[in-house]
Chain A
Amino acid sequence: MSGLRILVPVKRVIDYAVKPRVNRAQTAVETANVKHSMNPFDELSIEEAVRLRERKVPVEEIVAFSAGPPKAQDILRTAMAMGADRGIHVQIDEKEGKGELEPLGVAKLLKRVVEKEKSNLVILGKQSIDDDAGQTGQMLAALLNWSQATQASKVQVEGDSVIVTREVDGGVETLKAKLPMIITTDLRLNEPRYASLPNIMKAKKKPLDKKTLKDFEGDFSARLKTVKVTEPPPRKGGIKVEDVDGMISKLKELGAL
């Protein structure tokens, strides 16, 4: 094996600390003038790729990829400041939730990118915190017919096989698969670094390819239609009951018993 060619797809999402608000037309979440940053799970992916290289695993190249509005370039720069070697940006014109790619569209697009870049390892976040679909990695594995290990909490590369530990209910599960493969990352995999100032400057000089969907073969159009977006109903305060009998009768009243 000559070395890992890692592809790390990253997504620009509303910052995790911001409370999302539904727009007035109830068609999407308000994105104008809202702070955006890299999907936290994708930060873990970049970090893991960079750590593999730091652990002297033969890593030939780390490519960060993002499909999104022009501003998505910011997070590609962040990815490169964290250690990715170059970036690919597929510009998507999103307007009010229209024109956005669905997980299947993204997976199809990634398949093309993987083929073109001759990647043999794709590390994705297990989900993006905006749509929470959690589908892209799995769909990509199916399209490529590659092995997949989802929700990784530890990744070890030994020769051409990869050992992935994942947290499951009541314990951990260890998977081993041969390259090429798909890994999706979970929270406890690592602690992403902060982009240091010298690395931010270096990232400026790293190449960033700008493309559009037309540069890729395939149908990436959306198949789903968003009917309505609403905020979850506000939580109602509970009530206090006098005694156990009171509780039982209340539970019966609510149909819980």
Chain B
Amino acid sequence: MTSIAKTLRPLARAAASSSRPLRPAFSRTAPQIRCLSSTLPRRDVDISDIPPTPITHLSDTEALMAESVSKFAQDVILPKAREMDEAESMDPTVVEQLFEQGLMGVEIPEEYGGSGMNFTSAIIAIEELARVDPSVSVMADVHNTLCNTAILKWGTEKLKKEWLPKLATNTVGSFCLSEPVSGSDAFALATKATRTGNGYKINGGKMWITNSMEANFFIVFANLDPSKKYKGITAFIVEKGTPGFSIAKKEKKLGIRASSTCVINFDDVEIPKENLLGDEFEGYKYAIGLLNEGRIGIAAQMTGLALGAFENAAGYAWNDRKQFGQLIGEFQGMQHQMAQAWTEIQAARALVFNAARKKEAGEDFVMDAAMAKLYASQVAGKVSGQAVEWMGGMGFVREGLAEKYFRDSKIGAIYEGTSNIQLTTIARHLQKTYTK
């Protein structure tokens, strides 16, 4: 694929240390710090010889894919978006079609039955889906950026062969980190794992688990040695139907209502040794790494949502609604608001795509991902709120989608790291850079 990194010549990072002391070069000097904010660059690459292109430039394949996903979302998902929101459930045929289109295995290599595309393609797909329905988008996002990536990165060959073909074609994945006692303080999790004769036993409970109704595959974080504190956290794979595994309650939510969010209980859930993901006591590192990447996905969900809300309202203001003898989109008061909103959406998208490209190039993207997610969720909240106002009564009723975008936007500031956590991450990087 067009993963930038592949086209680049690998190079010792000698050049990085030279010259230009005046500009703080975040990507090079950004420190590796603890706690939900550090991940090692994947590989050392030098992109200094690559002619820069606009951030929004897509490869031919990415552009073709964006068009195809957009069409699929418009034709297949849009007619069901309102209905699924009202029913607070995901239509199983939508899930099926996501698999058929290859949208659930974007980065899974072709030999495992996936689409074999790059990270940015996944981001584009998430954005295109969110433009039409943020609930469908988050399902694909969690599945692709968290679950698939976890197996791709740390799964043994056996796990990959067993699970990747399923994850690409028919099995929804879910990522179980949060608990009643651990949200932003993710490493305070209390679910315990103990070693048994031929595997592990998990006890505890998880909360706010996205995709849990649809999923058959769960990545579960549990502490294998509480005396080590967070360094005891280990990642496991649990299948739905394992004795002791149960879904306790499905939450009723403000937004993204078609996406399932449940409480899950683990009561002496026994799993075989092979279901250990990666190594023991490495789980906390995996969680940090995955969430750092994952939040670029959430940022893309938010820019997609903002685009969808804007387009919905702009179509109304510039074609349908007339007051005082003219289209409401002709009034300067409206036009200036819309121009401002569009500018903010594009600014957020620039952050999102830049973070995605930096990740692909193997650069440190942690602060970029945090800024992208923070700002994209703010813009999504603001624009979708304004869009309701622009449409007046028609924006307020549950007939159209304006109010749904508005409700759906709120989650952006909450999951995969709240806005305050993003700000903390950004501030830590800054402080490290500017401390003399």
Interface residues of A (CB under 8 A from B): 37, 73-74, 77-78, 81, 194-201, 203-204
State whether B117 touches A196 (Cβ < 8 A). no
Contact with A along B1-42 (1 / 0, CB 8 A): 100000000000000000000000000000000000000000
A-B contacts besides A194-B71, A196-B102, A201-B110, 8 pairs, CB < 8 Å: A74-B60, A74-B64, A78-B64, A195-B65, A196-B100, A196-B101, A197-B117, A198-B102
User: Closest Cβ of chain B: how far from A1's Cβ, in Å?
Assistant: 33
Q: Which residues of chain B have C-beta atoms less than 8 A from A198's C-beta? A: 102, 105, 110, 113-116
Q: A197 vs B110: C-alpha distance in the bound complex, in angstroms?
A: 10
CB within 8 A of A200: which of B64, B75, B113, B114?
A: B64
Q: Known contacts being A197-B102, A201-B110, A201-B117, is A81 close to B68, with CB within 8 Å?
A: yes
Q: Which residues of chain B have C-beta atoms less than 8 A from A81's C-beta? A: 64, 68
Q: Which 8 A-B residue pairs are closest in the complex by CB-CB distance?
A: A197-B102, A197-B115, A194-B72, A195-B68, A198-B102, A196-B102, A196-B101, A198-B115
Q: Which residues of chain B have C-beta atoms less than 8 A from A77's C-beta? A: 60, 64
State whether A74 touches B106 (Cβ < 8 A). no
| B96 CB-CB contact with A under 8 Å | no
Q: Which residues of chain A have C-beta atoms less than 8 A from B114's C-beta? A: 198
User: Closest Cβ of chain B: how far from A168's Cβ, in Å?
Assistant: 29
Q: A198 vs B168: C-alpha distance in the bound complex, in angstroms?
A: 10
| B224 CB-CB contact with A under 8 Å | no
User: Closest Cβ of chain B: how far from A42's Cβ, in Å?
Assistant: 15
User: Closest Cβ of chain A: how far from B272's Cβ, in Å?
Assistant: 31
User: Closest Cβ of chain A: how far from B98's Cβ, in Å?
Assistant: 10
Q: Which residues of chain A have C-beta atoms less than 8 A from B56's C-beta? A: none
Q: Which residues of chain B have C-beta atoms less than 8 A from A196's C-beta? A: 68, 100-102, 115
Q: A192 vs B343: C-alpha distance in the bound complex, in angstroms?
A: 36
Q: Known contacts being A37-B67, A81-B68, is A197 close to B101, with CB within 8 Å?
A: yes
User: Closest Cβ of chain B: how far from A112's Cβ, in Å?
Assistant: 28
- Name the residue of chain B whose CB is nearest to the CB of A82: B68
Q: Which residues of chain B have C-beta atoms less than 8 A from A200's C-beta? A: 61, 64-65, 68, 102, 115
Q: A73 vs B60: C-alpha distance in the bound complex, in angstroms?
A: 10
Chain A interface secondary structure, helix, strand, loop or mixed?
helix
User: Closest Cβ of chain B: how far from A15's Cβ, in Å?
Assistant: 10
State whether B65 touches A197 (Cβ < 8 A). yes
Q: A37 vs B70: C-alpha distance in the bound complex, in angstroms?
A: 13
Contact with A along B90-113 (1 / 0, CB 8 A): 000000000011110110001001
B59-79, CB < 8 A from A = 60-61, 63-65, 67-68, 71-72, 75
User: Closest Cβ of chain A: how far from B106's Cβ, in Å?
Assistant: 6
Q: A26 vs B100: C-alpha distance in the bound complex, in angstroms?
A: 46
State whether B71 touches A197 (Cβ < 8 A). no
Q: Which residues of chain A have C-beta atoms less than 8 A from B1's C-beta? A: 201
State whether B61 touches A201 (Cβ < 8 A). yes
Q: A77 vs B116: C-alpha distance in the bound complex, in angstroms?
A: 17
Q: Which residues of chain A have C-beta atoms less than 8 A from B110's C-beta? A: 198, 201
Q: Which residues of chain A have C-beta atoms less than 8 A from B105's C-beta? A: 197-198
- Name the residue of chain B whose CB is nearest to the CB of A81: B64
Q: Which residues of chain A have C-beta atoms less than 8 A from B117's C-beta? A: 197, 201
State whether A74 touches B63 (Cβ < 8 A). yes
Q: A255 vs B110: C-alpha distance in the bound complex, in angstroms?
A: 69
State whether A197 touches B103 (Cβ < 8 A). yes
- Name the residue of chain A whose CB is nearest to the CB of B103: A197
Q: A194 vs B115: C-alpha distance in the bound complex, in angstroms?
A: 14
Q: Which residues of chain A have C-beta atoms less than 8 A from B125's C-beta? A: 197
Of listed B63, B101, B105, B121, residue having the most chain A CB within 10 A? B101
- Name the residue of chain A whose CB is nearest to the CB of B70: A194
Q: Which residues of chain A have C-beta atoms less than 8 A from B63's C-beta? A: 74
Q: Which residues of chain A have C-beta atoms less than 8 A from B113's C-beta? A: 198
State whether B61 touches A204 (Cβ < 8 A). yes
Q: List 10 A-B contacts (CB under 8 A).
A: A74-B64, A81-B64, A195-B65, A196-B115, A197-B117, A197-B121, A198-B110, A198-B114, A200-B61, A201-B1
Q: A199 vs B61: C-alpha distance in the bound complex, in angstroms?
A: 11
- Name the residue of chain A whose CB is nearest to the CB of B116: A201
User: Closest Cβ of chain B: how far from A186's Cβ, in Å?
Assistant: 20
Q: A244 vs B255: C-alpha distance in the bound complex, in angstroms?
A: 56
State whether A194 touches B61 (Cβ < 8 A). no
Q: A200 vs B69: C-alpha distance in the bound complex, in angstroms?
A: 11
Q: A194 vs B101: C-alpha distance in the bound complex, in angstroms?
A: 8
- Name the residue of chain B whose CB is nearest to the CB of A192: B71
User: Closest Cβ of chain A: how far from B70's Cβ, in Å?
Assistant: 10
Q: Which residues of chain B have C-beta atoms less than 8 A from A194's C-beta? A: 68, 71-72, 75, 101
Contact with A along B199-234 (1 / 0, CB 8 A): 000000000000000000000000000000000000
Contact with A along B120-149 (1 / 0, CB 8 A): 010001000000000000000000000000
User: Closest Cβ of chain B: how far from A123's Cβ, in Å?
Assistant: 21
- Name the residue of chain A whose CB is nearest to the CB of B65: A200
Q: A58 vs B67: C-alpha distance in the bound complex, in angstroms?
A: 31
User: Closest Cβ of chain A: how far from B283's Cβ, in Å?
Assistant: 30
- Name the residue of chain B whose CB is nearest to the CB of A199: B102
Q: Which residues of chain A have C-beta atoms less than 8 A from B71's C-beta? A: 194
Q: A26 vs B61: C-alpha distance in the bound complex, in angstroms?
A: 35
Q: A199 vs B100: C-alpha distance in the bound complex, in angstroms?
A: 11
User: Closest Cβ of chain A: how far from B146's Cβ, in Å?
Assistant: 19
Q: A200 vs B1: C-alpha distance in the bound complex, in angstroms?
A: 11
Q: Which residues of chain B have C-beta atoms less than 8 A from A78's C-beta? A: 64, 67-68
- Name the residue of chain B whose CB is nearest to the CB of A15: B67
User: Closest Cβ of chain B: how far from A34's Cβ, in Å?
Assistant: 14
User: Closest Cβ of chain A: how far from B432's Cβ, in Å?
Assistant: 39
Q: A88 vs B232: C-alpha distance in the bound complex, in angstroms?
A: 59
State whether B116 touches A195 (Cβ < 8 A). no
User: Closest Cβ of chain A: how far from B99's Cβ, in Å?
Assistant: 10
Q: A94 vs B110: C-alpha distance in the bound complex, in angstroms?
A: 38
User: Closest Cβ of chain B: how far from A68's Cβ, in Å?
Assistant: 16
User: Closest Cβ of chain B: how far from A153's Cβ, in Å?
Assistant: 21
Q: A73 vs B61: C-alpha distance in the bound complex, in angstroms?
A: 12
User: Closest Cβ of chain A: how far from B121's Cβ, in Å?
Assistant: 8
